[in-house]
Structures are given as structure tokens and as C-alpha cells.
Amino acid sequence: MKKIIVNNYEEASSVAAALFAEQIWQKPDTVLGLATGGTPVGLYNRLAAMNKAGALDFSRVVSYNLDEYYPILKSNDQSYDYFMRDNLFNHINIKPENIHLPNGEAKDPAAECAAYDAAIAAAGGIDLQLLGIGVNGHLGFNEPEAALHAGTHLTDLTPSTLQANARFFGDDPSKVPTQALTMGIGTIMSARKIVMIATGAVKAPIIKDLFSGRISTNNPGSFLLLHPDATVIVDRAAMGE
Ligand code: GLP
């Protein structure tokens, strides 16, 4: 696992943007794995600015997002579908038919999850997967548990995640959907390259655990230690400085 230590969030976003631009320049039909949360917003702003300036073309890029609340309407402004349109897709020239997220409106979540993994495989797999990390180590919504799921699945959110995400739902944990559809740890680990961004003092304990080199399902992020091409971009605050 490669570590890049930067001064702050802005630098982390710029370093990540350079890695994503490089990937798309090298392979214009790149299959991206994308993430939500506060962490990727700076990266998405930079990718949108590069697209606007004519420096980065998304016309052949394909994307698969990590996760989505369940159930949730796409029109809900807290859905990840809405978040992605608002923060990235409405500002770049990606084709709507190339955008994929787990469908929070699906009637049959198990069928939706199986179809999602099949679609990723049919697209040739993910070339570059973006990740944030939850304060409890979750990747996507793979929460710390005795056993992790390999494939995309429906999962219950932990109280810690409901609390952490309440800030997006009027600071009321009871308003956060209690379940989500998420790529599994196997789906994530199948990506050819992974870039994780972790910033802010709130992430320092989980990053310390990750950098201890111990792999545990209690910290799903620690599975990155097994990936052949994973880069973790961490700012000084998340390093505990
Ligand atoms: C969310 C998402 C994750 C994200 C994480 C961290 O709940 N499901 O994909 O990485 O929590 O969020 P943030 O970037 O806001 O710290």
C-alpha cells in the first residue's frame, strides 16, 4: 500500500485529481468506481474544472458508484444518486447511460445486487476505485462485522454510521435510512487500482489502525493492505499530527 501524506484537504484533493486525470488520459474508456461523502467533493470539483477547461474528457468514461441508501428515492436530495449528479455528473460530459449506482428504488434488492456485480464484470471490471473511509473503518457501507460480504449486498447500517451521517439528515439519526446497498469487499478489491482519501482529525484513530498493518474485519479499510495497487492519500490531521 502506497502512502501519500499531504498538508491538508485541498492538497489531498489535488493529488487525487492528478491520479484520476492521469488514469483517464491513459485510458479514455476507463471504468471508474466512485464514492460519496464529504471526502470526494474537492476531487470532484477539480475534475469538473478540468473538464470545463477542455483538459479532461469523460465522453467514454463509465462509472459505478460504491453504494446507495435503501430504500431511498433518487429524487431525495440525500440520495447518493442526487449527490453524484449535484457534485459531479451535472458538471462533466459523462454520458448518462454510462453512469451506474445501486438502485435505492429497486423492488428486489437481492436481484439488484446480483445485476450490479454482473454489470461491473460485463464492463470489464473497475480500473480505478475511489474510496473514503468511515470513522469506524467502513468502505462503502461494508461495516465492521465478524464476516464481510464479497459481493454487492443489502446491509444494515451501524449506530456509529447512522450517527456520523445524521449531519446530512438535519442532525437527526432517526432520519438516516437504516439500510444500504453496497459493493462488497470482493467487488472493491477486484478493482485494478484503488485510491483512498482520508482527511481530518476524526479519521486519525482508524488511519492509525490501518497503518498498524493488522488486517481485520473490524476495520474493513485494512483489506487495502492486501491490494496490489492501492494508494492512500492522508492529510496531517488524519495522521494524528
Ligand atoms: C459514507 C459512505 C462512504 C464514505 C464514508 C466517509 O457513509 N458510505 O463511502 O467513504 O461514509 O464519509 P466522509 O467522506 O463524509 O467522511
149-195 confidence digits (pLDDT tens): 999 999 999 998 899 899 989 999 998 999 999 999 999 999 999 99
Interval 107-115 mean pLDDT: 98
Reported as a single tens digit per residue, the pLDDT across 24-51 is 999 999 999 999 999 999 999 999 999 9
Tell me which of 87, 131, 138, 178 to substitute to probe ligand 1's pocket, judged by most ligand atoms within 8 Å of the beta carbon: 138
Total-model pTM: 0.97
> Phi and psi dihedrals of 5, rounded to 5?
-100, 125
CB-defined site of ligand 1, < 6 Å: 35-39, 66-67, 132-134, 140-141, 161, 165
The residue assigned the cell 471504468 is 31
The residue whose CA has the least distance to atom 3 of ligand 1 is 140
The backbone region for 204, taken as left when phi is positive above 0, alpha when psi lies in -120 to 50, beta otherwise, is alpha
